A and B are shown apart, each in its own frame.
Chain A
């Protein structure tokens, strides 16, 4: 049990729709990172938030956006969903020094 919680656990959306995924970070952690894990692949870094600001972004288009709130919880928003967006979305929280990143159970998104 890492203390990182994500919601919802599963979600089905139609191509072109928008989706919001949520993450509560572990107590004491002020940094949240989001990853996309396609079936059979390793997680791919989407972006990171620190003190409510984006702090680094991977190779993902602008329709992937995020927010971090004063309590360090975070949201991942994806607009104009595509079939290839179907994946497990993982949130990880870490302290500022980033030595240990702890992951939530993930949200399984299916786009049909």
Chain B
């Protein structure tokens, strides 16, 4: 069945780069997503990548996709204290993209001043 796995915790110093990793199982997923959740809040869509791409860059965010290994990563350059949050990786459910998402457990990013 579908499963998305992430490491649970990452701690970095302000100004460093952060890399959050994710593995997924459904090879038919057409899109893969990164969401951010701050305490007590809903999910904010950060970025997404189409499955036929290897990389996508959006300002400080870089997404890398290794489809062969079913591995997705999110790199945040020049990490700031405001980036402290929980980051969720998600894949769309099934081969057609209809907005049904399977989420990982989330990676808590702690940014130290």
Which residues from chain A sit less than 8 Å from chain B, CB to CB?
2, 4, 6, 31, 33, 35, 40-45, 48, 50, 55-56, 90, 92, 94, 96-106
Contact = CB atoms under 8 A, between A and B. Distances in A.
Interface of B: 4, 31, 33, 35, 41-45, 48, 88, 90, 92-93, 96-106
Contacts of B96: 98
A106 B37 CA distance: 11
Given A48-B98, A55-B98, A105-B42, A42 B48 contact: no
28 contacts: A2-B44, A4-B42, A6-B42, A33-B100, A41-B106, A42-B90, A43-B43, A43-B101, A55-B98, A90-B42, A90-B43, A94-B98, A94-B99, A97-B97, A98-B97, A98-B98, A98-B99, A99-B48, A99-B97, A100-B45, A100-B48, A101-B33, A101-B45, A103-B43, A103-B45, A104-B42, A105-B41, A105-B42
A33 B99 contact: yes
Contacts, number: 73
A45 B93 contact: yes
B49 to A, nearest CB: 11
A49 B35 CA distance: 22
Contacts of B97: 97-99
B100 A45 contact: yes
A96 B98 CA distance: 7
